Amino acid sequence: MDEERVLAEEKQPPEKTRATFAEWCMEWMETIVVAFVAVTMVFTFAARVITVEGISMEPTYFDGDRVLVTKLAGEARQGDVVIVVHALQETIIKRVVATEGQTVDFDQQSGELLVDGLPLKGEEFGIENGITFLPDRPGQVMEFPQQVPEGCVFVLGDNRMHSTDSRYVEVGMVDRRNILGRVVFNLMPFSKAGFVG
């Protein structure tokens, strides 16, 4: 009897171990779709590739340079380069030079930015000293000194003579909610590729 049971078990067909070609294709399609959705989510909510337009951040960034920007790097601090939306008609790239509670002013004699009464020289950010002036454009430029309100930052372009930034009424103090993210990685040109800071 035991022999009959063993023989009967041996005669059963083996389990199907190989998937059909259609099943294999479906598994690959699922993998590709999941990967595509994950990458899309990352680049929509976690990080974005931004192409620099214009000359306002020279010599740090030139027209056509590409950078990786993320909000996951934490709140923007003094010295960080950020992408700002809703300040002008176009998205802008600028450097945070003062944060909440700090007082901003300009020394027209030395061409330096003053933060809380102390000069913040250009060399701090890898640019020239003595190039930060308050433009002579009555009605278009804010009056200084100014204290940065809570929840805001004060931004400048590194190319101080050719930058529409927080000195101008149309930009003013930038609400942190309008910061798309911090620049964390230089992508192009390849000669400058690498993490920032």
Provide the annotated active-site residues: 56
Secondary structure (H, E, C), the chain:
CHHHHHHHHHHCCCCCCCCCHHHHHHHHHHHHHHHHHHHHHHHHHHEEEEECCCCCCCCCCCCCCEEEEECCCCCCCCCCEEEECCCCCCCEEEEEEEECCCEEEEECCCCEEEECCEEECHHHHCCCCCCCCCCCCCCCECCCCEECCCCEEEEECCCHHHCCCCCECCCCCEEHHHEEEEEEEEEECHHHCEECC
Region for 82 from its dihedrals, namely left if φ exceeds 0, alpha if ψ lies in -120 to 50, beta otherwise: beta
Cα separations in angstroms, 135 against 39, 66, 106, 132, 163 = 43, 29, 10, 9, 10
